[in-house]
Amino acid sequence: MKFQFVTKTKLLLLLLCTHLALNISAQTNNAIDTKVNTLLAKMTLEEKIGQMNQYNGFWEVTGPTPKEGNAKEKYDHLKKGMVGAVLNVKGVENVRKLQEIVVNETRLGIPLLFGFDVIHGHKTLFPIPLASSCSWDLEAIEKSSRIAAIEASAVGINWTFAPMVDITRDARWGRVMEGAGEDPYLGSKIGAAQIKGFQGTDFSSNSSIIACVKHFAGYGFAEAGRDYNTVDVGTSTLYNIILPPFKAAVEADVKTVMNSFNVLNGIPATGNKFLQRDILKGKWNFKGFVVSDWGSGYEMIDHGYAKNLKQAAELAANAGSDMDMESYSYVRHLKELVEAGKVDIAVIDDAVKRILRIKYELGLFDNPYKYCDAKREKELIYHADHIAASLDMAKKSIVLLKNENNLLPLVKTQKNIAVIGALANDKNSPLGSWRIGSDDNTAISVLEGLKNIGANITYAKGAELITAPTSFPEEVKVNETDKSEFTAAIKLAKKSDVVIMVLGEHGFQSGEGRSRTKLDLPGVQQQLLEAIYKVNKNIVLVLMNGRPLAITWANEHIPVIVEAWQLGSQTGNAIASTLFGDNNPSAKITMSFPRSVGQVPIYYNHYNTGRPGPKSEVFWSHYGDEINQPLYPFGYGLSYSKFEYSNLKIDDSNPQKVKIFVTIKNTSTIAGEEIAQLYIHQKIASIVRPVKELKGFSKVKINAGETKELEFDLTDKELGFYNNEGNFVVEAGAFDVMVGTSSEQGLVGVFNKK
């Protein structure tokens, strides 16, 4: 009796607390709404439009500044209260300077938002997001974003333009480095974790910053992987692949959304009412505000959708783009558009209320300088705890692709190790792209990491990767001809027992505006690899790249391949600890690696087609010169441990929740972590379903010889899909289910959804 009494009391207490919490938040929201409406009533039309205007800081440019943009005009507008937010302002002092102008010199003193691309860290850099996504570790990902927010807020930033949740299947696109790969289920979980990390749990804290999920929507489907290119996708792809991570972001209470450069069904996203009003603010009831991407407003002229900047302003505002970044369209034309009745004042008021509400939620009206604490800037930047977290995330992001004869891990007493490759001695490329706030050459290089761990190494560059130093907005100039240092490297390899080759891409060969038509090792690196292989086959290939690469020759010849991506500040230490066994790799790729660029776009959750083959004659879906399968499939990654799956059990007796059980044994002598993945395939449906869809995963630590049983639950949420009307439907019928170590390897079963 006593036990029941205690439980009941606890339950009552829980219900009471929940009710109270909901009550408090409702009261807070009402209080904020009252303040917003009171302030709005005082504002002139110019001041309202000012809130909808965001200018780039006067120090840094991350996109093409409009032809007519200039700092003098920006300052004038700043003093007149015609600016609601700025971006790329660096340092607490500069932030304070601008905030003081706006708070003290404008009529209403409405504080600014300070935006910045805090993508994978601010000063302390974490692995590029594509790398971190391979950890499948939501807690670690959230922590990385939390630390990024702490450092960004310490330098005055209160708004990050992240997470980028654009699903993509095309490694030619440079921005694959910025997302979480090809799967919407995993991408949704990761995006929500990043938002929770950036925004924290309490906006009154000066380490919480607002997140901005981007780019809404479809940007990752740029045709031919060419950045900013046309996007033309089907309805089912839109609803089932592209939109889910954005919906998950809204459900995770993301405060802002950034629209995208591309068209969707022929209408630029910035001027797309269907996306911004019908879906985002309508169906999903999004309460935050939408910011345009850099200049995406005026780009509607180039798209052929607006005849001039004035019409661009009209189209964007009416379509639900609340704030204009660096088009100058709102600040120049909205007033006359409202006066001419082309844009209703209600559209302006709705946008301004959304923006003001977030400024109140951030506490900026109570203390506009809450993010301007110079002491915090000194204390928190590059804090030891942040460095440690960066190292941990880096270790969790390294994918072991091949380990023939268990050549890895190396023993620390290993002698005669050669290290070859320009990237081994590079302290910049490992930082990756999208790191405007950080400091150049601050990564621990691979060479430094190997020395830190006490490895007995000798280094030879082998070849330059680039022909000249490259600064941020420039094209990387790859060395395509100079092989003058091959001889020295070959000589070293000949007399070495093991050769660690660090090859891949320069940090700025991926990222925005950095698409490639090839997915090979850039420059003369493939030739270098083959030249070394000729004299020493004991090669450990460490890849450092921002996208999947087509490394078919390496996979056929090189015994060990480690995908180390661009791991941020602690790159060298993470790689060294993995090569020498202090870190047991557990990561799994979140984007398929193609055998050749000709297979792209290539992804695991494809449809079966009407001619899946294989057939004896040619009339089935295949190539004459390559197999269909990727080199490495989504979800693939090895460990120093060995995991055995057995005993798949399915309980579909409860139509509301199908239970799937599997047993995993670590048959090795090394404790390790396994990312078990669950995939479904609905055999027959009103819209064809992918041959596989990730609908569950569990990252589990299993000691040597230990066995664990995992349970996965499948509810309507996992089994349903969006029909072509955009409605979520669940259809009865037979499902294949697979639980395993990758999207291509696991135990299979079937169940019936009643």
**Residues labelled as active-site residues:** 293
Site string for ligand GLC, 497-536 (x = CB under 6 A): ---------------x------------------------
Residue 562's φ and ψ, nearest 5 degrees, are: -115, 125
Q: Which residues pair with 682 in a beta bridge?
A: 735
Q: Least CB distance from residue 158 to ligand GLC, whole Å? A: 15
Q: Which residues pair with 214 in a beta bridge?
A: 164
In the region spanning residues 608 to 647, those forming contacts with ligand GLC, defined by CB under 6 A, are: none
- What distance in Å separates the CA atoms of residue 543 and residue 81, rounded to the nearest whole number? 50
Q: Least CB distance from residue 532 to ligand GLC, whole Å? A: 39
User: 589 near 634, Cβ under 8 Å?
Assistant: yes
- What distance in Å separates the CA atoms of residue 676 and residue 695, rounded to the nearest whole number? 11
Amino acid at 468: A
Q: Least CB distance from residue 593 to ligand GLC, whole Å? A: 25
CB-nearer residue toward ligand GLC: 159 or 239: 159
Q: C-alpha 115: how far from its chain's center? A: 18
Under the binding rule (CB under 6 A), the answer on residue 62 touching ligand GLC is yes
- DSSP label at residue 220: G
Q: 619: which 2 tokens? A: 């009339």
The helix (run of H) or strand (run of E) holding residue 707 is strand 707-714
CB-nearer residue toward ligand GLC: 117 or 137: 117
One residue of 50, 57, 63, 507 binding ligand GLC per CB under 6 A: 63
In the region spanning residues 161 to 180, those forming contacts with ligand GLC, defined by CB under 6 A, are: 161
Q: Least CB distance from residue 55 to ligand GLC, whole Å? A: 12
Site string for ligand GLC, 470-499 (x = CB under 6 A): ------------------------------
CA 72 → CA 55, 56, 76, 330, 588, distances in Å?
Answer: 12, 13, 6, 18, 50
User: 739 near 645, Cβ under 8 Å?
Assistant: yes
CB-nearer residue toward ligand GLC: 117 or 377: 117
User: 411 near 540, Cβ under 8 Å?
Assistant: no
SS3 content of the chain, % helix, strand, coil (to 5): 35, 20, 45
β-pair type (85-87, 728-729):
unpaired
CB-nearer residue toward ligand GLC: 214 or 357: 214
Under the binding rule (CB under 6 A), the answer on residue 294 touching ligand GLC is yes
CB-nearer residue toward ligand GLC: 222 or 309: 222
Cβ-based neighbours of 54, under 8 Å, separated by 6 or more:
83, 84, 85, 86, 87, 113, 115, 291, 323, 324, 325, 326
In the region spanning residues 108 to 127, those forming contacts with ligand GLC, defined by CB under 6 A, are: 117
Q: Least CB distance from residue 64 to ligand GLC, whole Å? A: 9
User: 171 near 600, Cβ under 8 Å?
Assistant: yes
Q: Least CB distance from residue 259 to ligand GLC, whole Å? A: 10
Nearest-CB residue to ligand GLC?
161
CB-nearer residue toward ligand GLC: 510 or 682: 510
Can you state the angle between helices 329-339 and 345-361, rounded to 10 degrees? 140
One residue of 122, 143, 172, 214 binding ligand GLC per CB under 6 A: 214
- Biggest CA-to-CA distance, the chain: 84
- What distance in Å separates the CA atoms of residue 290 and residue 269, rounded to the nearest whole number? 11
CB-nearer residue toward ligand GLC: 85 or 499: 85
Q: Which of 386, 328, 433, 447 is nearest to 144 (CA)?
A: 386
Q: Least CB distance from residue 504 to ligand GLC, whole Å? A: 24
Secondary structure in 3-state letters for 342-388: CCCHHHHHHHHHHHHHHHHHCCCCCCCCCCCCHHHHHHHCCCHHHHH
Site string for ligand GLC, 174-213 (x = CB under 6 A): ----------------------------------------
Q: Least CB distance from residue 220 to ligand GLC, whole Å? A: 12
- What distance in Å separates the CA atoms of residue 352 and residue 413, rounded to the nearest whole number? 65
Size of residue set near ligand GLC by CB under 6 A: 9
Cis peptide before 217 (omega within 30 of 0): yes
Q: Least CB distance from residue 374 to ligand GLC, whole Å? A: 25
CB-nearer residue toward ligand GLC: 473 or 705: 473
Q: 690: which 2 tokens? A: 């992918």
- DSSP label at residue 411: P
Q: 280: which 2 tokens? A: 């985002």
Q: C-alpha 244: how far from its chain's center? A: 14
User: 129 near 118, Cβ under 8 Å?
Assistant: no
CB-nearer residue toward ligand GLC: 113 or 579: 113
In the region spanning residues 570 to 599, those forming contacts with ligand GLC, defined by CB under 6 A, are: none
Under the binding rule (CB under 6 A), the answer on residue 216 touching ligand GLC is no
CB-nearer residue toward ligand GLC: 512 or 563: 512
Q: Least CB distance from residue 420 to ligand GLC, whole Å? A: 36
Q: List residues near ligand GLC by CB under 6 A.
A: 62-63, 87, 117, 161, 214, 293-294, 512
